[in-house]
Structure 1
Amino acid sequence: MQNYANPTNFLRLVKLAAPVLAALTALLLGLGLYLAWFVAPADYQQGETVRIMYLHVPAAWLSMFAYVVMTSAALGTLVWRHPLADAAQKAAAPLGAGFTFLCLVTGSLWGKPMWGAWWVWDARLTSVLILFLIYLGLVALWTTIEDQGKAARGAAIFTLVGAVNIPIIKFSVDWWNTLHQPASVFRLGGPTIVGSMLWPLIVMALAFTFLFMTLHLLVIRNEILRRRLRRLSILAADAEEASPDRPPSSLEAAYEQ
């Protein structure tokens, strides 16, 4: 894997992997929606409203998964100085914010007919809202700090501090009396959901995971190309200032670095 720390090798990997991941995403998403709508039964209490679960729960899982990816990238930036770590962290922030926003919106749509309110200050709801605000803060940090090195270090520290919120989200239903039910899929005693509901949920979760992986790779690729273009622009400006009549023959070599 160390070979793919080189941006050029990573771009080759993305060129090969992105179409495969996109195809798997489309296949799993189509299958998951079919199973969720036509195969999974309605709940005996919630009726058809329960089908929001097949969007809400995967979005909730991916909101936390994206932050775990960012935390790993933050360690790569601060500890191992991985060349692509800060790009991976920067790319994951808006994606995590998107999944978290989808989680909050679908949760409100599900909560209104079930709880009688669009929003309550439930422990899990509040901790997920904090996660969304952390994502927005990281996106703002990357946007406002022009020096990419300082932005990467600041975002990495911010990410590691915010990581304490992930176990709070996970175990909030166990630590406090909340409106959310305890874990029913990932638990020591095994899932408590009937198979006709569990399998569509798993397929949708896989579809969301492959969607995140596809978009993450593409955004990292775009970030690498954006940084190369910026570097080339700086080199071109320096070369023109030093010798306006001489063609900048070193630019092509710089692009390949």
Structure 2
Amino acid sequence: MWSSFKRWFHQWGSPKWFYERSLVWSRWLGLIALLCIPTSIIWGLFFAPADYQQGNSFRIIYLHVPAAVLAQSCYVLMAIAGLVGLVWKMKVADVVLKSAAPIGASFCFLALFTGAVWGKPTWGTWWVWDARLTSMLILLFLYFGVIALESAIQDTITAAKAAAILCLVSVVNIPIIKYSVDVWNTLHQPATFKLTEKPAMPMEMWLPLLIMTIGIYAFFGYVLFLRSRNEIIERERRTLWVRELVERESVA
């Protein structure tokens, strides 16, 4: 068992192996996203019943909640990739960290934007310095910091180490975001879903949200694999296997 895990773990660290396998994975993830996201949008916008308090304005959760959850998950993934890159010196981990940062930043901005759109009719204002909102804004700045480090430092290895350290130090912001509505007195509502509790909304309202969450995660994986493949080709362009790959594609 342990030897199989070690072999699998080191396979993930091989740029060539990752590049070849990720094509198949990205296709499946793209298909899942293509099925789930439109289904959820149509179901959530046109068929789910209106909320008894918020009316139709609640429908923004079908985009806001998955975007916010993904933005936090992405940063945790970056911290894990940073740890793997620092400890085991795996090139693919550095590639994943760099490739994930712009995607996570985009979803974090989307979560903040849709939250502001929802907050205007619900709270009467676009923005309040609420604990959840403020910690999410800090997360967006952290994403910008990682992207800036990767862009500003010319040496790839040094840039990867700096970004990894930043992610590992600042990942403490993720539990702050998660528990901010429980620890502090905030306007933001508690979590929509909890694994230990029955959903507070009827199935015809939470099921499309679940489908959208699956679709958003699949879309994230699809884009992450595509960006990672491009980054691997850029970093490994002088290696034999990349030159052979380019020759085969040029002949085809």
Using the size of structure 2 for normalisation, the TM-score is 0.90
Paired residue for 1:11?
19
Asked if 2 retains the 8 angstrom alpha-carbon contact of 1:60 and 1:103, the reply is yes
Asked if 1 retains the 8 angstrom alpha-carbon contact of 2:37 and 2:215, the reply is yes
Which one-letter code corresponds to 2:127 in the other structure?
A: W
Paired residue for 2:249?
none
Matched, 1:189 2:164: no
Asked if 2 retains the 8 angstrom alpha-carbon contact of 1:5 and 1:84, the reply is yes
Equivalent position to 1:125, from 110, 130, 133: 133
- The Cα shift of 1:8 comes to 1.2
Cα distance in 1 for partners of 2:241, 2:112 equals 47
Matched, 1:116 2:124: yes
Paired residue for 1:145?
153
- The Cα shift of 1:42 comes to 0.8
- The Cα shift of 1:183 comes to 2.1
- The Cα shift of 1:149 comes to 0.5
Matched position secondary structure for 1:84: helix
Equivalent position to 1:169, from 146, 171, 177: 177
Paired residue for 1:36?
44
Paired residue for 2:217?
209
Aligned pairs, number: 237
Which one-letter code corresponds to 2:199 in the other structure?
A: P
Q: Any gaps of 5 or more consecutive residues in structure 1? A: 233-250
Paired residue for 2:100?
92
Cα distance in 2 for partners of 1:89, 1:57 equals 23
Deviates more, 1:216-225 or 1:17-26: 17-26
- The Cα shift of 1:187 comes to 4.5
Using the size of structure 1 for normalisation, the TM-score is 0.88
Residue by residue over 1:199-257, the C-alpha shift from the partner in whole angstroms, topping out at 9 and shown as x without a partner, is: 0110010010001000011111010011123xx3xxxxxxxxxxxxxxxxxx7467469
Q: Any gaps of 5 or more consecutive residues in structure 2? A: 1-7, 246-252
Query: What is the root-mean-square deviation in Å for CA atoms of aligned residues?
Result: 1.6
Structure number with bigger Rg:
1
Q: Percent identity?
A: 46
Deviates more, 1:66-75 or 1:6-15: 6-15
- The Cα shift of 1:104 comes to 0.4
Which one-letter code corresponds to 2:64 in the other structure?
A: H
Cα distance in 1 for partners of 2:117, 2:223 equals 26
Equivalent position to 1:180, from 182, 188, 191: 188
